Structures are given as structure tokens and as C-alpha cells.
Structure 1
């Protein structure tokens, strides 16, 4: 059996297997301490290319071209390497190669990890521990946690949970189901590049342009699917998702965030502080803005139900194929 004959039904089984392993285990801290995480390899490659090629003395067009080349090299390394591994596994193990492929896809999902990073925020808020809540939320958001009150911390946690449902769960699973290991790890490489260099600040605006645009394209379908899943499990939120998804600066992040805001009848986003600078941002949703621990727990409940539905749908697809 070659990669070309690897059936789509097996890709669906790979997706189900990777999902279940990730839900059960996450990426354990002991494993991270010993071997790190695969995205760390992408981060090192991106940082090395950025230090070599993103030189301020170069013209903007040259830096943009080098940024495009950096993304292409990253995709070749991530997708090409994954293709070689998947091809070898399928060739030597035949149909049973899906088990090994699922094991190698597992680190690309973040179902358990995302949940386990948001829970401490909710618990600290419930205990009235603002210092602990700021410390916990600072691990999952880019804004300045020291400027946040309890409501701001809760909003940041809910927004991050909604947005990361796409980046950490829906999108990698989507690309795994579409393209196997190469699809999954090419997506993870792009997403890592966007988080490191896809910024609008002068240093990265030109060099990170390709990473940001490629990440937007790769998340286009998954972000909308993530928003739909949230609305489905909540049984509400559709109107707010359609109305407010375009208010986010990202063409994709607004979909799951607006769905979560509508599902829980909350206001998300709004003015935020990054690196000591206050940025005016429109509100998403028309409910309460004074979020608390109960709202973070409610968002976690929606997230768990959405992930459970995702397992069922992926399993159903594997059965049908």
C-alpha cells in the first residue's frame, strides 16, 4: 500500500484515534520535559530564518519575498517530512499503519491541553485569587494580565478557549482528515509561524506577511466549522455569530468567539492592552460584560460538548467511509 492508496476511511480512523488519545492523555508534562514538543522544532527553524533574513536594512519588498521563501521552506520541511514518515509506515505496515499514523498525529491536537490550561483560571477566579488567575491566564493569552480585573481575566479565558478551539482542535483535525500527517503538520507549522512572526509591528510586518496570510487561508473553513459546532451544542448563538463574526481583527477568530458570546449571552473582546498600549476593539456579543468564574466554567462545558460531538462526527465519518 502506498500513500496514494491510503483510503479516506483510514484517515478518518486516524483522526478518531488521535482525538481519543489526546483527550485521554493530552501532552503530559513529563513527556514535554523529556522530549519537548514537535512545534518547538518549527519555532527554532522560524526563529533561525528570521534572524538570518529579516534584516532591517533590506527593502520591504525583499523582506516580504524572503518571508514567502521562509514559509515555503517550513512547509517543505513539515509537510514533506510527515509525508515521508507516513509513506514509510503505510508501506511497511499496510492497513495497520493507521495506528502508528494516529500516534504521530496525537501531538498535533490540543483538546486536553487547552482544557487543562483554562480550568486553573476558572478555579482561581472562583477562589477570589486574582494573582493566581492572572498568572494562569497569562499562559494562554498575549495581553497584559496585570492590567486585567476579574471580569477581564474571565473574558480573556473565554475568548482564548473559543479561538483555540479552532487553532488547537478543529483546524489540525480538519487538515489531518483531509491530508493525513502532511496536512496536520503543515498546518501546525503555519500556525506556529503566524504566532511568532505574523504580527503587524514594523519588525515583522513584511517578513511575516506570508505566514499571516497563509494561516488565514488554512483556518478559513475550520473557524467557521468551529463556530457552527459551538452553536449546535449550545442550541443558540447563531444570530450573534453571523452578526458579529466580522468585528474581530482576524477574518477567522471572530467566528468561534462570536458563537461563544451568543451561546452564553456575553460580551467578549472590547478594548484590550498589549505591551502597555491600550487598543480599542469593538465588542462581540450583546450580553453581559461582567464575566466571572461561572462563565468560564460554562464555556468549558460548551467546549467539552463540542469536542464530544466532534468525536462522534469523526467516528461517524469513519464508519460511513
Structure 2
């Protein structure tokens, strides 16, 4: 496919898929990510051993298989711009989760605003893995703002970055890696070694998207100077190399204090504060975080299209153009 046409196919398809997510959220039935999760779980049952090698094989087969299948599909439709746009739109819609993220955050915020703490606690597991039972309103609000920040990168920006760089295989591959990390990349006794490869690969795949998310949150947030200062000062204090820049930039952009004590399935962690000089989040700050996330997502789509244009013209991950 000539470079200009490839550029247009990705641009139209990614924009259409982004709009589908914006209008409808995640597909309610037959979600490809759910199907991938079932396949990865079935393979895990066959491969699981308490060692890194089997985990690395599992990661390579799952993530590599998803990217390879997407590459074959993209190759199969390369002669038809209409089918190429449709494939790119479907892939983009399938891998993005910005609207579902915003809806879940808004539902929890509405429960908090109405004083229904029990409903907010019941809803929180739909958004993140924290134990909600002992969280008060402020604790739930902080969990939501932090989850909105981190998932802006994981559920939207990271996928768009890799889509811009590699097309449909980049979209599918990033979502596969991110899904595997959520499934096996945590530090439980079962997955400490088996999930090591998935966790490290997710760190690497998420690196560019996290930095772009932090940069866009800084540029588009209400307090750019605070965002930049907090990002530069506090990001390295976070235990995650990718969540750190994103949460620190959101903390500064919104002038909110993030971090501190949290609990996951009975395990308590004490994380350093991000933006320690700011106030703690409340229910009214959840819509502010969602609005910032939506601005970042829209800007990330533009960045993805620019990356795709450079790639199609030989500037990124492509062969140099012949001299004229």
C-alpha cells in the first residue's frame, strides 16, 4: 500500500474507532479482549510452573500471537482501503477503554456525592483492585483519581502510541501485554515468578505512553507549572516506573495530594505522597480528573495520527523514502 494511502487508512480508522469508544464504550458482547483473556487463561493452565521460563513462554505465545494475528489481518485487507479502515476502527474501539473508565469513575463519584458510601465501595472494584471495605469518602476519591490517571495511560494513550508506531499489530499487541500484566503480572505467591516476564514487558511497552500521558496532562491541565514541578520531583518516588509520572503529573495538574497507604486483597502498602503540599481529593475532584483524562485522550489521538503519518512516510519504523 503506498505510504499516503496507508496513512489515511490508519487516520480514518483510528479516528472512527476512537469515536465509537466515545459514543458507546466497550462492546457489551463478544469483546475481543475478553476472548483473549480466556485464551490466555487456558494456556496458563497448561504452562503454569513456579518459574520464570514457563512464564516467559506464556507471555511470548499470548502477546506474540495477538500481534501476529493482527498483522495477518492487516495484511489480508491491505488492498482494500475500506476494509483497512474498518479493521483499524474495530481494533481501536476494542482496545480503548476511555469511556468505560470515565463512566465507572463518574458512577462512584455520584454515589459519594449522594452520601451513599456503601454503593461507592461496592462499585470501586469495577475500577481498581483495592480493598474498599475500610475506605472512607476521601480514600475512595483518592483511589478513583489515581485509577483514572493510571488507566488514562494504560487504557487509552499507550495503545494509541503503539497504534501510531505499528498500526493494528501495535494496538493489539499493547492491549495483549497490558491484559497479561493484569492477569499474571502481580506479586502474589502464584505469579511472582510466572508473571515476571509479563510484568517486565508491560513496563517496557507502557514506557512511551506513560511519558506522553504525563506530558499531555501537564500541557492541558489547569495548572501546568504545578504539574511539571510535581512530575519532575515526585514521579521517581512511586514504585511503578510508569504509574509514577502519570499520577504525579495528574496530582500537580489538579493540585491534589495522591499516594499514601492503600490495601490490595489484605496486603497493605505505604506509598510516598505525590504533591504532598496539596489537599486530599474529595468526591468533587472525580469529575475534574475525568475531564483531564478526556482532554489527554483526545490529544493522544492526534499524537497517534502524527506518528502514523511519520511511519507511513518512512520516518518511524519504516524504510527511508527513496531520493527524488
2:137 to 150, 170, 173: 150
Cα shift at 1:240: 0.1
Equivalent of residue 240 in structure 2, options 242, 250, 254: 250
Aligned with residue 261 of structure 2, among 225, 248, 271: 271
**1:42 paired residue among 33, 36, 55:** 36
Contact 2:230 2:248 survives alignment (8 Å): yes
- 3-state SS in 2 of match to 1:291: coil
- Counterpart of 2:198 (choices 189, 196, 211) is 211
Equivalent pairs counted in the alignment come to 308
Name the residue aligned to 2:11: 12
Q: Identify the range of structure 1 (213-222 vs 100-109) with the bigger mean alpha-carbon deviation.
A: 100-109
Q: Which moved more, 1:274-283 or 1:213-222?
A: 274-283
Residue 107 (structure 1) aligns with: 94
1:139 aligned onto 2:116: no
8 A Cα contact 2:91 2:172, kept in partner: no
The counterpart of 2:76, out of the listed 60, 85, 88, is: 88
What is the 5 A alignment of 1:273-312?
273-312=263-302
Which segments of 5 or more consecutive residues in structure 1 lack a partner in the other structure?
A: 57-62
In 2, are the aligned partners of 1:15 and 1:177 still within 8 Å (CA)? Answer: no
> What TM-score comes out, normalization by structure 1 length?
0.89
1:223 counterpart = 2:222 = no
Post-superposition shift, 1:6?
Answer: 6.5
Higher helix proportion (structure 1 or 2): 1
1:316 offset after TM fit, Å? 6.5
Following TM superposition, by how much is the alpha carbon of 1:106 offset from its aligned partner in structure 2, in angstroms? 1.2
In structure 2, the residue matched to 1:241 is 231
Assess if the C-alpha contact under 8 Å between 1:12 and 1:317 holds in 2. Answer: no
RMSD: 2.2
Pick which of 9-18 and 37-46 moved more.
9-18
Structure 2: 5+ residue runs without aligned partners?
314-324
Q: 1:187-245 CA distances to partner (integer Å, 9 max, x unpaired)?
A: 11111110111112221111111100000000011100001111111142100011111
Structure 1 match to 2:158: 171
TM-score by length of 2: 0.88
- 2:67 corresponds in structure 1 to 79
Residue aligning to 1:184 = 171
